[in-house]
Amino acid sequence: MKIWMKDGKFVDITKEQKEALTVEELAQYTADKSEHQRAEMIADFDGKLEKATKNFLTKEEIETVKSDFNKTIKDMPVEALTKYVQTIDDLKKEVKTVTDLAKEIKDIAKIQGTEITKMKDGQYQIPDVRRKISRRNQIEGLIKLAFNSEAFTEFEGRGFKGASNKMCLDSVKGEVSLKDVATKATVDTSSHTGTVMISEISDIVRDDAPTRMTHVRDLLNVSMTDQAQIVSGQVYDYTDALTLGATMLAENAEAAESVFKSKENTWGLKRIANSMRISKREIKTNGLQFVINKVLAKLPDATLFVEDVQLLFGDGAGNNVKGLANDAQAFDLAPNTYTAGAISSVATYNAGTQALITFAAVHNLRNGDNLTIANASEGTYNATHSSIEVINTTQVIIDLTFVTEADTSAWTGSSTSPFYLGIDLAQEYDVLAVADAQLEAGEYVNTGYVIHPSQGTQMGLLKDTQGNYLNISKDANGRVTGVNGKPVAFTTAMPYGKWLNGDFSRNGVELKEFTPLNIQFVEDVETVRKNEIVVVIEEEIIFPIYNPYWFIFGKFSTAKTQLETA
């Protein structure tokens, strides 16, 4: 019985109900949820299309457009469908007459019809063989298949002359196979016109149970693209996430400016490659399986390590990717301090049962923080006020009966998170849980963590004061599998003692494959001289980080000090 279906309609279930589902039931729930969202999107699109075209299309023509559209996108993931629904919303912003509107829709229909067909045909989707298995297993499968492929046999038959085609993993009728990597034409960034076609989709749903991750890309939305660069807005200043500067105003009063800034950015192609020399005699004397085992022992880990390092710590210079840790927020619970003049006024609030504190600048407080006030003439204000209520970026409410004080220029103070010096026997697990809470308190979303494998083992060994292991979910290797229901990815590219967490969904970042991971066998002048061949593994990716403020990068030792009770 599907507990999420009532009277033939889908209803969301609670977190506890999800946790009680079997793997099969959870998969069915996810599928039914996606289908429900898709049906709602299609209905929304139909309504908007009918409204936008009623002045120049007949009823029959409208029905034909809707029918054709619905048939085409019935299997499209919800995220992609959202883009096409939004298209109708945006139309009237750029056109002035019914005639212009008709032409606009017809032009868009041609372009998007082509794009939808490509999406439906799977051109931009990651094949299941690359999407549903671990990155290491992908590489191992690619190496094994390549050495046993017809392409390698032909290469060997030519006496290892020239080079083989580049081969990547694919699946045909559910079976793993190889296919040639098509050569793509690249477009120089300088030729960018400001218009980027929709060329990616993702059907990742993130309400499943946390599972053990092995690399950074396991947390990311990964899709393919035929664009040589991604052009999009990137947030570069975001200091008032809670309210975005919104405030209550009198008629004709001037609205405050949000400290939220976005600019167009261009992310270009980056190539990650690794190679290994193999003696031709070694292939003949030791056999193919020996060579495969040798390659498997060397190339996968090295390739994965480089990718993880780049996605985390690349500096964006030259051929490097700009990694997540560079612009992420630092984990910092150190108190905010307010010098004389920082608090501009105090006023009555809620019929005098509370007091409204107004700061001269952005206060950087979150709902529930503690605010300590000193040097007030009215002594009742001189105290630590817990659980303050933030109403905008410069004003908070404290639970204190209002007392008139005309001059607050001498007031000083500080503010702290309720977690600051508030956790007994703080450990690494506590740090990740608080980092999760810090993002959510700032109206961000946290979808996962990245730590060193040894850190995962260390967290799995945590004990209480009686020496008993904590009730933490662990995998077969004894590593913690999740924190607050969010998955943990392990990579040696993350130094032991540090971590990164944040929104790895499409809101914060994406990983785009321009050329998927592929393998090639090559002989050149250098290898001829040494009687060798070269095995090359490479990929071309684009790594747009739309909002670096959606991530936290920190050091466990520093964070534990800020959490541990004094």
Task: For Cα atoms 247, 248, 249, give the angle at the middle one, nearest 5 degrees.
Answer: 110
Q: What pLDDT score was predicted for residue 187?
A: 39
Q: b or e along 383-419 (b: 16 or more beta carbons within 10 Å of the residue's beta carbon)?
A: eebeebbbbbbbbbbbebebeebeebeebbbebbbeb
The verdict on pTM exceeding 0.95 is: no
CA dist 437 → 93, 143, 369, 417, 455 (Å): 39, 42, 13, 11, 20
Angle of helix 98-120 relative to helix 23-53, nearest 10 degrees? 160
Q: Which amino acid is at 133?
A: I
Q: What pLDDT score was predicted for residue 201?
A: 31
Q: Give the Cα separation of 505 and 511 in Å (integer).
A: 10
At the top level of CATH, the class of 129-157+212-241+265-333+419-566 is alpha beta
Neighbours of 275 (CB within 10 A): 14
Query: Hey, what CATH topology would domain 336-416 get?
Result: Elongation Factor Tu (Ef-tu); domain 3 (2.40.30)
Q: Give the Cα separation of 51 and 440 in Å (integer).
A: 38
Q: What pLDDT score was predicted for residue 557?
A: 97
Q: Give the Cα separation of 13 and 122 in Å (integer).
A: 31
Q: What pLDDT score was predicted for residue 565?
A: 93
The residues spanned by each domain of the chain are: 5-120, 129-157+212-241+265-333+419-566, 336-416
Q: What pLDDT score was predicted for residue 140?
A: 86
Q: Provide the pairing of β-strand 229-238 with 260-268.
A: antiparallel
Neighbours of 217 (CB within 10 A): 22
Q: Which two tokens stand for residue 330?
A: 């630092």
Q: Give the Cα separation of 114 and 507 in Å (integer).
A: 26
Task: For Cα atoms 128, 43, 88, give the angle at the middle one, nearest 5 degrees.
Answer: 90
Q: What pLDDT score was predicted for residue 331?
A: 94
Query: pLDDT (tens digit, 0 to 9) for every residue of the chain, 566 residues total?
Result: 788 888 888 888 887 787 677 756 766 777 777 777 777 767 776 776 666 666 556 677 667 666 666 665 555 555 555 555 555 555 444 444 445 555 555 555 555 445 444 444 445 567 666 666 777 888 888 898 889 888 888 888 888 888 998 988 876 666 677 888 865 544 333 333 333 333 333 333 333 333 335 789 888 888 888 888 888 888 877 655 445 555 666 777 666 655 567 788 889 999 999 899 999 998 888 888 888 888 888 888 888 889 999 999 999 998 999 999 998 999 999 999 999 999 999 999 999 999 999 999 988 888 899 999 999 999 999 999 999 999 888 899 999 999 999 899 999 999 999 999 999 999 999 999 999 998 887 777 899 999 999 999 999 998 877 887 787 888 878 888 889 889 999 999 999 999 999 999 877 899 999 898 899 999 988 888 899 999 999 999 999 998 888 899 999 999 999 999 97
Helix, strand and coil in the chain, % to nearest 5: 35, 25, 40
